[in-house]
Amino acid sequence: MKDGVVIEVEGLSRRFGHFLAVDKVSFDVKRGEIFGYLGANGAGKSTTIRMLCGLLKPSEGRAAVNGVDVAHDPEGVKRSIGYMSQKFSLYMDLTVTENLEFFGGAYGLSRRQLAVRTDEVLRAVDMIEQRDTRTGDLPGGMRQRVALASAMIHDPPILFLDEPTAGVDPEARRTFWQLIRTLAGQGTTIFVTTHYMDEAEYCHRIGLMVDGRLVALDAPEVLKRTHVPGRICRVEGSGASRALPVLGGLPGVLEAHPFGAGLHVRFDETRTGMAALQAALHDKGLDGFALTPIAPTLEDVFLAVVEAK
Amino acid sequence: MRYFIRTVQAVVRKELRQTFRDKRMAAILFIAPVLQLTLLGFAVDMDVDNVPTLVVDQDRSPASRDLLARMLADATFARTQEGDDPDGPMARGEVSVAVVVPRGYSEDVKKGRPAEIQVLIDGTDPVRAQSAMAGVLEFLTQESLHMATARAVAMAQASGRAVEVPMISVVPRVFYNPSLKSPIYMVPGVAAVVLLVVTTVVTAMSIAREKELGTIEQLLVTPMRPVALLLGKIIPFALLGLIAGGLVIAVGTHVFDVPVRGSVLALFLGMLLYLMSTLGTGVFISTVANNQQQAILGSFFFIMPAILLSGFMSPVENMPEWIQLISRLDPARYFVQILRAVLLKGAGVEDLAGPLLALLTFGVGILALGTLRFRKRVA
């Protein structure tokens, strides 16, 4: 195991019949890192996670989680990871504590360990007061925290979260991500899949999956710099559709596309600028547009990468 | 090993909690069997008595009235109607038997000529028809015999000779169920059926529910062995099944006077092996079903033939040869056999080696098959 690396993936592939779900994926995840795995549905995110959790045998390549090979010792892998799926697989007819007790038992915790850990994880997810509530009576955001608590009942060094915030309200999502960052700060490694681009910003590094292949991998800022070079400005005003062909044809403009009621225009700042764009519009008799610089989002990265393919 | 036991314990505790939290489930397990037994025990009463009977007395003589009065004195028949036309009331289902005494009956008897009595029987329900027919035949045969004997005696006395009438006297003695009460025959069968339905369905549903809700996936990422999960599912339902089974037998003995003549050990050993079979079948069904509806449907595919072939209503020996062969695969058949033997005939473990062994074989086989399939599907 390389220094500080807890997940090592090399040329990992998985085939279902003739369909190649995951195609020679390689990456490393370091201890305490929040690693985001991004991609559309069917891009191979879940298949990768299932291989890393020891649920699915790889067709080719190798992967080691916490130093344990997933193909040779899937049970060994299971012991050192926690897994939380988008469905929050809890027993709705049991209370919060009863759920934790059951999953703790499934990991073979003794009664004493269980009592200690139950308190610890409930405190960590701030659910001490709801400990005797039936899980089914809790709102979605709280259930999600209970699911996280039960995924870490056995104190795993690595947590796999498969779309953990699907169907949860924005407020609860924010709380959840604060929790994730705290956990990572304490040394837990987090491997998380999501299709919410705003959430991906919280990750230390992001891997982008398209059609089973890992097409980009880096920190969010670096991805933005490499895949969305230049500056972006938003163009707002009536008649934005007439402005589109004008701006799109200017030298130095890399890209212009409709966005909401207005436009997003990306340009090379060494060749042109916002004043030049405004002037070009004025020359064509198009006035009254407001141009504001905006920061590129991971959505822009995602679109740029997919288009480049 | 210690880890393995802990995981099994965790599942058992969880299953018990869920079972008792869900009021409906607890009701299915305990109230339903007792209720079903009581209902079935009373409803499936095959004793034939109080058969509604129409009397058509065309002779209207003291002899005919006397004959009819004595014939209907027994509780087998109940005179519900009198009239001249037997067809209408029978077609309408108002009576099941009609007795017609034709004009000239008393005259024929007096003169020593053969007399005729017409008996019409509704054959829609063969069991009832046969019992009614047997009742009528027996009464009238006795009656003829009495008349014939009386006449022989009278003739002999008239000619001054001594009388010797040869007769066979039948002394029947019925074993195990002397008063031939049908609940005593039915209750063991009903007990087997009730246990079959409850345990198979509950097990199949409980695993299918985990699949349906997705909780099974959460279990698969734990290092828990699939066998531990299955054991954890089976143990509580086996225990609850034993309790429910004991309850059913208790109701049978208290409400229906079913005796317990044999070894209680053999009874519970048989029940345990039987439950192994039914629970194993439930596990097997759950490996085929993806949700709870499919689990229920699948269970009934097994339960219906298992009940019909168990011999709880009609003896297995009366079935065609090839069906008897198939019924050898039916765990309910062996358990019904064991129950009847223990409860009514006072059998012990040593008398029941055959059926016990058959249940053990079936139970181990289906459990192994279910476990293998379960492991394959989750892997």
Question: Coil, strand, or helix at residue A183?
Answer: helix
Per-residue pLDDT reduced to its tens digit, B36-48: 878 877 776 666 7
Which position has the higher pLDDT, A53 or A41? Answer: A53
Contact A85 B218 (CB under 8 A): yes
Beta-strand relationship, A60-65 and A68-69:
antiparallel
- Find the mean pLDDT for residues A11-25: 93
φ, ψ dihedrals at A186, nearest 5°: -90, 5
C-alpha distances in angstroms, A109 versus A54, A103, A118?
20, 9, 11
For position A100, what pLDDT does the model report?
Answer: 96
CB B54 within 8 A of CB B86: yes
B2 interaction partners in chain A (CB closer than 8 Å): 108
DSSP A139: -
Q: Give the whole-angstrom CA distance, residue B116 versus residue A103.
A: 83
Most confident of A175-179, B69-73, B108-112: A175-179
For position A214, what pLDDT does the model report?
Answer: 92
Domain edges within chain A: 5-218, 225-308
Q: Give the whole-angstrom CA distance, residue B25 versus residue B27.
A: 5
Beta-strand relationship, A34-39 and A189-194:
parallel
- Find the mean pLDDT for residues A158-187: 91
Please provide the distance, in angstroms rounded to a whole number, between the alpha carbons at the two ends of chain B: 21
CA atoms within 13 A of residue A261's CA, in its CB half-sphere: 6
Distance, C-alpha A278 to centroid of its chain: 37
Neighbours of B110 (CB within 10 A): 11
Q: What is the 3-state secondary structure (H, E, C) of chain B?
A: CHHHHHHHHHHHHHHHHHHHHCHHHHHHHHHHHHHHHHHHHHHCCCCCCCEEEEEEECCCCHHHHHHHHHHCCCCCEEEEEECCCCHHHHHCCCCCEEEEECCCHHHHHHHCCCCCCEEEECCCCHHHHHHHHHHHHHHHHHHHHHHHHHHHHHHHHHCCCCCCCCCCCCCCCCCCCCCCCHHHHHHHHHHHHHHHHHHHHHHHHHHHHHHHHCHHHHHHCCCCCHHHHHHHHHHHHHHHHHHHHHHHHHHHHHHCCCCCCCCHHHHHHHHHHHHHHHHHHHHHHHHHCCCHHHHHHHHHHHHHHHHHCCCCCCCHHHCCHHHHHHHCCCHHHHHHHHHHHHHHHCCCHHHHHHHHHHHHHHHHHHHHHHHHHHHHHHC
- Find the mean pLDDT for residues B59-64: 90
CB A46 within 8 A of CB A30: no
- Find the mean pLDDT for residues B188-194: 84
For position B45, what pLDDT does the model report?
Answer: 65
Partner B contacted by A110 (CB < 8 A): yes
Contact A78 B7 (CB under 8 A): no
For position B46, what pLDDT does the model report?
Answer: 64
Best of A66, A88, A107, A146 to disrupt the B interface (most B CBs within 10 Å) is: A107
Q: Give the whole-angstrom CA distance, residue B169 versus residue B151.
A: 20
Which position has the higher pLDDT, A251 or B112? Answer: A251
pLDDT band at B139 (very low <50, low <70, confident <90, very high): confident
Contact B218 A110 (CB under 8 A): no
Neighbours of B182 (CB within 10 A): 15
Q: What is the 3-state secondary structure (H, E, C) of A60-103?
A: EEEEEECCEECCCCHHHHHHHEEEECCCCCCCCCCEHHHHHHHH
Can you name the residues that pair with B101 across neighbouring β-strands? Answer: B57
Per-residue pLDDT reduced to its tens digit, B6-35: 999 999 999 999 988 878 777 777 888 888
For position A94, what pLDDT does the model report?
Answer: 94
Beta-strand relationship, A19-30 and A5-16:
antiparallel
Share of chain A above pLDDT 90, in %: 54
B224 interaction partners in chain A (CB closer than 8 Å): 106-107
For position A157, what pLDDT does the model report?
Answer: 95
Best of B222, B230, B233, B375 to disrupt the A interface (most A CBs within 10 Å) is: B222
Which of A154-168, B127-141, B232-246, B257-271 is least confident?
A: B127-141
For position A194, what pLDDT does the model report?
Answer: 86
Block residue for tokens 């919060």 = A96
Contact A79 B22 (CB under 8 A): no
Q: Give the whole-angstrom CA distance, residue B350 versus residue B266.
A: 9
CA–CA min distance A177, chain B (Å): 21
Per-residue pLDDT reduced to its tens digit, B272-301: 999 999 999 999 999 888 899 999 999 999
CB-closest option in A79, A91, A94 to B223: A79
- Find the mean pLDDT for residues A228-252: 86
Share of chain A above pLDDT 70, in %: 99
CB-closest option in B2, B3, B18 to A91: B18
Contact B18 A109 (CB under 8 A): no
- Find the mean pLDDT for residues A128-152: 93
Inform me whether the pLDDT recorded for B61 exceeds 60. yes
Contact B218 A103 (CB under 8 A): yes
For position B284, what pLDDT does the model report?
Answer: 93
φ, ψ dihedrals at B222, nearest 5°: -85, 155
- The two tokens of residue B103 are 């004009």
- Find the mean pLDDT for residues A51-57: 91
B218 interaction partners in chain A (CB closer than 8 Å): 83, 85, 89-90, 103, 150
Contact A87 B224 (CB under 8 A): no
C-alpha distances in angstroms, A223 versus A5, A218, A220?
22, 6, 5
CB-closest option in B17, B215, B216 to A98: B17
In terms of CA atoms, which chain A residue is nearest residue B378? A55
Inform me whether the pLDDT recorded for A1 exceeds 60. no
Tell me, what amino acid is at B226? P
Partner B contacted by A83 (CB < 8 A): yes
pLDDT band at A8 (very low <50, low <70, confident <90, very high): very high
Partner B contacted by A80 (CB < 8 A): no
Partner B contacted by A172 (CB < 8 A): no
For position A78, what pLDDT does the model report?
Answer: 93
Which CATH superfamily does the domain covering A5-218 fall into? P-loop containing nucleotide triphosphate hydrolases (3.40.50.300)
Contact B220 A109 (CB under 8 A): no
Contact B13 A101 (CB under 8 A): yes
In terms of CA atoms, which chain A residue is nearest residue B2? A108
In terms of CA atoms, which chain B residue is nearest residue A84? B218
CA–CA min distance B307, chain A (Å): 33
- Chain B residues at the A interface, defined by Cβ less than 8 Å, are 2-3, 6-7, 9-11, 13-14, 17-18, 21-22, 213-224
- Find the mean pLDDT for residues B173-189: 79
- Find the mean pLDDT for residues A258-279: 87
Contact A94 B14 (CB under 8 A): yes
Q: What is the CATH number of domain A225-308?
A: 3.30.70.100
Inform me whether the pLDDT recorded for B178 exceeds 80. no
Q: Give the whole-angstrom CA distance, residue A225 versus residue A266.
A: 12
For position B44, what pLDDT does the model report?
Answer: 66
CB-closest option in B3, B14, B213 to A89: B213
CA–CA min distance B222, chain A (Å): 6
In terms of CA atoms, which chain A residue is nearest residue B224? A106
CB A37 within 8 A of CB A207: yes
- Find the mean pLDDT for residues A81-98: 91
CB A141 within 8 A of CB A169: yes
- The two tokens of residue A7 are 């997940």
Classify A155 in phi/psi space as left (phi over 0), alpha (psi -120 to 50) or beta: left
CA–CA min distance B210, chain A (Å): 9
Residue B189 contacts by C-beta under 8 Å, 6 or more apart in sequence? B310, B311, B312, B313, B336, B339, B340
φ, ψ dihedrals at A32, nearest 5°: 80, 5
CA atoms within 13 A of residue A280's CA, in its CB half-sphere: 20
Partner B contacted by A128 (CB < 8 A): no
Partner B contacted by A53 (CB < 8 A): yes
Q: What is the ipTM score, two decimals?
A: 0.81
CB pairs under 8 A between A and B: 72
Which position has the higher pLDDT, B163 or B367? Answer: B367
- The two tokens of residue B82 are 């009198």
Domains of chain B in sequence order: 2-45+181-378 (no CATH), 51-158 (3.40.1710.10)
Q: How does the average pLDDT of chain B come out, rounded?
A: 87
Which position has the higher pLDDT, B194 or A279? Answer: A279
Inform me whether the pLDDT recorded for B379 exceeds 80. no
Partner B contacted by A111 (CB < 8 A): no
